[in-house]
Amino acid sequence: RAKAQGNDRCAVFDEAMREQALRSLDLEADLRRAIINRDFMPFYQPIVRLSDGELVGHEALLRWQHERRGLLLPSAFLDLGEESGLIEQVDWLLYEQVITQLARGGRGYLSVNVSPRHFRSADFSTRLFGLIEAAGADPHRLRLEITEVALLDDGPRTLRILQTLRERGVLVQLDDFGTGFSALSYLHRFPISTLKIDQSFIAGLHGQDMQSTHALVQGVLSLARTLGIETVGEGIETQAQHDTLLQLGCDYGQGYLLGRPAPMATTATA
């Protein structure tokens, strides 16, 4: 009897897996078509100085204008994009739009997210500077956001890429800081301009473990200050979070309280 039950469960499991596989096949076909049709656009979210509310830049966030399903967030297709390797093509389509936007003027920087594997691919910086030059954009106003994963493995190679970017004026920020390996030695070894403290810590500032979260965030902020690295608090939703971060010495902030991601047309900068 137990065996029969086990088999039943297996059958249900298989069916669910089959459906899941078919659905992701569908989405992959959609993604390939969307790349040909260039169905992607950036939304821009403001980043402000916490001390005086001054706008310093925007993060460009990927949106897929799906032909049937409407506007899709990265969470709906990023895993698939990374597994299939298609995300690199999507990223380039987005960078092109962001760099064109930069060349149009406006103030402050625009930052773009880079998938770890993509960042280390052979022609990444060559292609990036090719786009910047073709558009006549100022590289000093473009920033890249990478995660700690991108710093793992092949240190010398990663270091070379980061140095090239730095020499040519493109600053690199460490995104979602605190969620990865957070080997603090990385901060010393690699030229990183900015730490973006992950939103889970910002949420934790007033949550259950608020005391230990305070201590942790304070430690990260003071280390960053010592190393001359600027800091951005991510996912600021409340005035209390804003005030605590400011008081702990965080330089900049990003979050719904300060501005939601929106097409450039509806934000102040452009």
Residues forming contacts to ligand C2E in the complex (CB under 6 A) are 45, 61-62, 73-75, 78, 87, 91, 94, 112-113, 115, 145, 175-176, 199, 234-237, 254-256, 261
In contact, 69 and 31? CB cutoff 8 Å:
no
By CB under 5 A, tell whether 30 contacts Mg ion: no
| Alpha carbon distance 145, 78 (integer Å) | 15
By rule CB under 5 A, what string of x and - marks binding of each residue 213-252 to Mg ion?
---------------------x------------------
Identify the burial level of 115 via C-beta atoms within 10 angstroms of its C-beta, where 0-12 means exposed, 13-18 middle and 19 or more buried: buried
Q: In 3D, which of 103, 151, 144 has the Cα closest to residue 124?
A: 144
In contact, 221 and 248? CB cutoff 8 Å:
yes
Closer of 61 and 205 to ligand C2E (Cβ):
61
233 binds, among Mg ion, ligand C2E, none (CB under 5 to 8 A by kind): none
Tell me the chain's radius of gyration from C-alpha atoms.
21
Q: What's the min distance (Å) between Cβ of 22 and Mg ion? A: 29
By CB under 5 A, tell whether 148 contacts Mg ion: no
Q: What's the min distance (Å) between Cβ of 97 and Mg ion? A: 16
**What tokens does 123 get?**
């022609």
Provide the H-helix boundaries in the chain. 2-37, 78-84, 87-103, 116-119, 124-135, 155-167, 185-189, 199-204, 210-227, 239-248
Question: Which one of 48, 176, 192, 254 is in contact with Mg ion (CB under 5 A)?
Answer: 176
Question: Which one of 145, 242, 251, 264 is in contact with Mg ion (CB under 5 A)?
Answer: 145
Length of the chain (residues) = 270
Q: What's the min distance (Å) between Cβ of 116 and Mg ion? A: 13
Strand partners, 233: 197, 253
Q: What's the min distance (Å) between Cβ of 17 and ligand C2E? A: 26
| Alpha carbon distance 15, 247 (integer Å) | 53
Closer of 150 and 229 to ligand C2E (Cβ):
150
Q: What's the min distance (Å) between Cβ of 59 and Mg ion? A: 6
What residues make contact with Mg ion under the rule CB under 5 A?
113, 145, 175-176, 234
